[in-house]
Amino acid sequence: MKRIGVLTSGGDAPGMNACLRAVVRTAIYHNLEVVGIYRGYEGMIDGDFLKMDRHSVSNIIQRGGTILKTSRSPRFRTEEGRQTAYNRLKEAGVEGLVVIGGDGSYAGAQAFYHQTKMPIVGVPGTIDNDLYGTDYTIGYDTALNTAVDAIDKIRNTADSHNRLFIVEVMGRDAGFIALNTGIAGGAEAVLIPETPTYIDQIITKLETGWRHHKTSSIIIVAEGDDSGGAMEVKDKINEKFTEYDTRVVILGHVQRGGIPSCKDRVMASRLGHAAVETLMEGLTNLAVGLKNNKIVHTSFTKATKLHQEMDLTMFELVEILSG
Does residue number 16 form part of the binding site for ligand F6P (CB under 6 A)?
Answer: no
Least distance in angstroms from the C-beta of 173 to ligand F6P: 8
Residues between 231 and 260 that touch ligand F6P (CB under 6 A): 256
Least distance in angstroms from the C-beta of 92 to ligand F6P: 28
Query: In the set 124, 125, 171, 182, which binds ligand F6P (CB under 6 A)?
Result: 171
Least distance in angstroms from the C-beta of 255 to ligand F6P: 7
Does residue number 151 form part of the binding site for ligand F6P (CB under 6 A)?
Answer: no
| Nearer to ligand F6P (CB atom), residue 66 or residue 126 | 126
Q: SS3 sequence, the chain?
A: CCEEEEEECCCCCCCHHHHHHHHHHHHHHCCCEEEEECCHHHHHHHCCEEEECHHHHCCCCCCCCCCCCCCCCCHHHCHHHHHHHHHHHHHCCCCEEEEEECHHHHHHHHHHHHHHCCCEEEEEECCCCCECCCCCCECHHHHHHHHHHHHHHHHHHHHHHCEEEEEEECCCCCCHHHHHHHHHCCCCEEECCCCCCCHHHHHHHHHHHHHCCCCCEEEEEECCCCCCCHHHHHHHHHHHCCCCEEEEEECHHHHHCCCCCHHHHHHHHHHHHHHHHHHHCCCCCEEEEEECCEEEEEEHHHHHHCECCCCCHHHHHHHHHHC
Does residue number 99 form part of the binding site for ligand F6P (CB under 6 A)?
Answer: no
Candidates 33-41, 122-130, 207-215, 284-292; binding stretch for ligand F6P (CB under 6 A): 122-130
Least distance in angstroms from the C-beta of 128 to ligand F6P: 5
For 280, residues 6+ apart whose C-beta sits below 8 A from its C-beta are 1, 30, 32
Does residue number 125 form part of the binding site for ligand F6P (CB under 6 A)?
Answer: no
Residues between 215 and 234 that touch ligand F6P (CB under 6 A): 223
Query: In the set 20, 24, 127, 148, which binds ligand F6P (CB under 6 A)?
Result: 127
Does residue number 15 form part of the binding site for ligand F6P (CB under 6 A)?
Answer: no
Candidates 34-42, 170-178, 190-198, 236-244; binding stretch for ligand F6P (CB under 6 A): 170-178
- Residue 60: CA count within 13 A, CB half-sphere: 23
Active-site residue, from 12, 128, 130, 141: 128
Does residue number 39 form part of the binding site for ligand F6P (CB under 6 A)?
Answer: no
Annotated catalytic residue 128: yes
Candidates 59-67, 123-131, 192-200, 262-270; binding stretch for ligand F6P (CB under 6 A): 123-131
Residue ranges in contact with ligand F6P by CB under 6 A = 11, 102, 126-128, 170-172, 223, 256
* Residues recognised as catalytic: 128
